[in-house]
Structure 1
């Protein structure tokens, strides 16, 4: 079964170092909490809000041990008026026997506001 594991974080400004650092921390947390093995990952999609263009956040994922062959793609998030700014969203699709209800979606910083219903899981 392929399952999606969702994560999101925010940065304080459009800064290459902060974007790469916060993305790496988020993905490492997603990996740890869901016991993800790179060989089982089908793909990773990363979206950023329109004001974040200092770098491709996927660069930090490709530097993780064993992740250099995992297909990773960056894209711009839909610019909905009033939506959370400075946000980086990650969707990891992974082959797993873990039940949908047991997947741990991870939200850091201001991104915790996106899915408060998943925060107590």
Structure 2
């Protein structure tokens, strides 16, 4: 088993925006790592406390045929000055291969060690 991390940010707290960015993030994790939904053992999402309109796990469950996969949503710990409107994910994968983390949009700045602050 391996774990791949990812994150994205939304511009507004709306069902449409959270749904769109969650689908984009999960699609990119699958694409960049050559995974299928059958490879996924479980997923944990966190969201900053300013995102309240829809659960990312519900978006993934409904759009990626993961109805029998354990999914969990948590509120990310609030720290003053931390990035707002952010969705983070840990995907547990049945594989032995190396996995590429996926950070999109403003969330790339969370991992400057990987992305060098690129937008």
Is the CA contact (8 Å cut-off) linking 1:20 and 1:59 kept in structure 2?
no
Task: Kindly state the Cα deviation for residue 83 of structure 1 after the two structures are TM-superposed.
Answer: 0.6
State the partner residue of 1:95.
94
State the partner residue of 2:100.
104
State the partner residue of 1:70.
69
SS of the residue aligned with 1:83?
A: coil
Aligned residues: 116
Residues 37-76 of structure 1: pairs in structure 2 closer than 5 A: 37-76=36-75
Is the CA contact (8 Å cut-off) linking 1:49 and 1:77 kept in structure 2?
yes
Which of 108, 112, 115 is equivalent to 1:116? 112
* TM superposition score normalised by structure 1: 0.89
User: Aligned partners of 1:65, 1:15: CA distance in 2, in Å?
Assistant: 20
**More divergent stretch after superposition (14-23 vs 54-63):** 54-63
State the partner residue of 1:22.
21
User: Aligned partners of 1:41, 1:54: CA distance in 2, in Å?
Assistant: 25
User: Aligned partners of 2:67, 2:32: CA distance in 1, in Å?
Assistant: 21
* TM superposition score normalised by structure 2: 0.91
Residues 5-16 of structure 1: pairs in structure 2 closer than 5 A: 5-16=4-15
User: Aligned partners of 1:65, 1:103: CA distance in 2, in Å?
Assistant: 19
